Amino acid sequence: MVRRYDPDRAVPEEVVQRLLKHATRAPSAGYSQGWAFLVLRTPQERELFWTATAGRRRVLAKWLEGMRTAPLIIVALSNKSAYLDRYAEADKGWTDRSEARWPVPYWDIDTGMAALMMLLTAVDEGLGACFFGIMPEQLADFKAAFGVPAEYTPVGAVSVGYPAEDNIRGSSHRGRRPLDEVVHFGHWRAPDRLS
């Protein structure tokens, strides 16, 4: 995840289009495609985004200062209604829009996968990117600032650009958990029982 970008290098338009095209190729339950993407490219759009969403992040000045250098921000939004409507159609066999049948909110998961497709595309294009959330207390300000319809919920934002030479590392240097702590073959076993 890149947290500081070269502010003098814009993301080429053809790359922006590839990021978005690849996002729409993500898996989608029932081919519901209940996602939308708000693309912020101009300095005015990006400044409005940071003004609406910074909230308590203002205390993270170094992180925020670096992130504000991103020349492109794409906000990935989910639409639960698209999924509830799709699964109430005849070919799915449900007759109502009940959320009770959903084991997890696939509208958010699918939108997260679309964001991941953008992250992978950014890497393939030689760019840096970072996925981050909009804090709950800032959602109303964000939606009002950009005229986001009520049925859409931001799952996260993806900042994109060419990494700066002095890119900021994340605040956690914990490292990745080893496979034997997170992978279970055939049966769930405590890590100390793996052999």
Q: Tell me the pLDDT tens digit for each residue of 13-61.
A: 999 999 999 999 999 988 889 999 999 999 999 999 999 998 665 555 6
Q: In whole numbers, what is the pLDDT of the chain averaged over residues? A: 89
> CB within 8 A of 127, min separation 6: which ones?
11, 15, 160, 161, 162, 163
What residue spans of the chain are helical by DSSP H? 13-23, 43-53, 61-67, 80-86, 106-124, 139-146, 179-182
Q: What is the pLDDT of residues 118-135, one digit of tens each?
A: 999 999 999 999 999 999
CA-to-CA dists, residue 86 to 34, 92, 110, 153, 194, angstroms: 10, 8, 14, 18, 43
Sign of the torsion angle spanned by Cα atoms 158, 136, 148, 71: negative
Provide the whole-model pTM: 0.87
Q: Domains in the chain and their CATH numbers?
A: 13-193 (3.40.109.10)
E strand or H helix at 161, and its extent?
strand 152-161
pLDDT higher than threshold 90 for residue 64:
no
The predicted pLDDT at position 124 comes to 96
Cβ neighbourhood burial of 7 (10 Å; 0-12, 13-18, 19+): middle
Helix or strand (DSSP H, E) at 157: strand 152-161
Q: 128, 95 in Cβ contact below 8 A?
A: no
* Per-residue confidence (pLDDT) for residue 97, from 0 to 100: 86
